[in-house]
Structure 1
Amino acid sequence: MFTGIVEELGEVVALEHGGDSARLTVRGPLVVSDAVHGASIAVNGVCLTVVDVKDDAFTVDVMKETLDRSSLSALTSGSPVNLERPVRPSDRLGGHIVQGHVDGVGRIVSREPGERWEVVTIGLPADLVRYVVGKGSITVDGISLTVVEARADAFTVALIPTTLELTTLGRKEPGDAVNLEVDVIAKYVERLIGDRA
């Protein structure tokens, strides 16, 4: 489990595509500092399992399902990525409950700069609209954010200077893809209510 509080902005070293999978190597000195084979690291919000650690980089295998459901397949050498290690039971939950299981891919629609912050509009797949509510939580490329406004086919978030500086959202442009994970609690509530109906 993760919190959506990005620990480090890493850099893709290599993405080698296979027939139905890929092998991704990422440089991230902080997250690698205690990584071992079998550890989990979230890359742009996708929970992946470490298969190798060398110097300041780690390697993971990415299955076809993950490539199809996320924006990871579009990464190239040099791409910046948001990195987070799993939360320890004794840690503060600074963001919200994030599983690292991407629900879909959205696209940046627009950016409206403010004095020190920006409002970013993100389009989302129709099947995720029902899970997004104003002042609710959403994960965008692994970043825990609060929804400012929920629309029929998009939502807005307000990015503070820290988020703009220390995550990939400071660099994304209109048209760029982002991984989305909706609040898992909303999905459980929907399932429980649906089973009773």
Structure 2
Amino acid sequence: MYTGIVQTVAPVTNIVRHDGYTQFHVELPERLMADLQIGASVSIEGVCLSVTTITGNRVTFDAMDATLDRTNLGILTIGDGVNVERSAKPTDENGGHNIAGHIASTAELVASKMDMPGAFIRFRVPEEWAKYVFKRGYLAVNGASLTVAEAEGDMFTINLIPETLRQTTFPRYKPGDPLNIEIDHQTMVMVDVVERTLERLMTKAH
């Protein structure tokens, strides 16, 4: 599990395509290397990936083609920075919200302002996922725990504070780019239960 508090933006130093998967090489800062082991889970742009090799500070992660199809990892190029968060220990303080690193979908960035005051991102979420996103609700975007400021149909706006701009990859994204979206699991369960309950009531009424 993760907290959605991005710990660093780390550079992608190499990308190697294989049959069925792609290997990403990421250079982590020394402070995130402590006790890191092969098989450990790390959030890369919000996607839960496992460490496959460690050489000094260079760590590799394998992403299956299915993962590339569902996320924005497929558009990464060498030199790009990625949001990184090590998996949380049960004793860690959670300043964000519980995140699994399982991306529901990508959302299209439709507008953004990446300087203060008034920095924001506005994006369109696919219709089947939009019903789970609410104003003032939590959303993980590229692995960062954020609060939705405005919601209108399938369009959502999140305001960004200076720390988020400084500590994440958002400034390199442009309108038209895909963002990784993870829906809050509890919200999803609640919406599905309400929908099923209403369906049963409507069926009985008929």
Distance in 2 separating the partners of 1:8 and 1:114: 19
Distance in 1 separating the partners of 2:169 and 2:118: 15
8 Å contact from structure 2 (residues 132, 191) kept in 1: no
Structure 2 equivalent of residue 56 of structure 1: 57
Question: Is 2:122 the partner of 1:98?
Answer: no
SS at match of 1:131: coil
SS at match of 1:132: coil
Two-structure CA RMSD over aligned residues (Å):
1.6
Structure 2 equivalent of residue 122 of structure 1: 123
Distance 1:68 1:94, change over 3 A: same
Structure 2 equivalent of residue 9 of structure 1: 9
Distance in 2 separating the partners of 1:191 and 1:169: 31
Question: Is 2:155 the partner of 1:182?
Answer: no
Find the structure with the greater CA-based Rg. Answer: 2
Identity %: 35
Structure 2 equivalent of residue 132 of structure 1: 133
Distance 1:78 1:115, change over 3 A: closer
Deviations 1:101-126 (A, max 9, x none): 00011121112467434022111111
Q: CA deviation at 1:77?
A: 0.6
Structure 2 equivalent of residue 25 of structure 1: 25
Distance in 1 separating the partners of 2:116 and 2:46: 28
Structure 2 equivalent of residue 89 of structure 1: 90
Structure 2 equivalent of residue 41 of structure 1: 42
SS at match of 1:67: helix
Distance in 1 separating the partners of 2:22 and 2:100: 21
Instruction: In structure 2, give the amino acid aligned to 1:78.
Output: G
Q: CA deviation at 1:156?
A: 0.3
Structure 1 equivalent of residue 148 of structure 2: 147
8 Å contact from structure 1 (residues 32, 53) kept in 2: no
Instruction: In structure 2, give the amino acid aligned to 1:3.
Output: T
- The aligned length equals 197
Instruction: In structure 2, give the amino acid aligned to 1:23.
Output: Q
Q: CA deviation at 1:191?
A: 4.0
Distance in 2 separating the partners of 1:149 and 1:100: 24
Distance in 2 separating the partners of 1:50 and 1:115: 36
SS at match of 1:3: coil
Structure 2 equivalent of residue 74 of structure 1: 75
Deviations 1:119-154 (A, max 9, x none): 221111111100100000001100100000112121
Q: CA deviation at 1:93?
A: 1.1
Distance in 2 separating the partners of 1:73 and 1:133: 28
Distance in 2 separating the partners of 1:113 and 1:102: 24
> Unaligned 5+ residue runs, structure 2?
201-206
Instruction: In structure 2, give the amino acid aligned to 1:171.
Output: R
Q: CA deviation at 1:34?
A: 2.6
Distance in 2 separating the partners of 1:31 and 1:24: 17
Structure 1 equivalent of residue 203 of structure 2: none
Distance 1:17 1:33, change over 3 A: same
> Unaligned 5+ residue runs, structure 1?
none
8 Å contact from structure 1 (residues 107, 178) kept in 2: yes
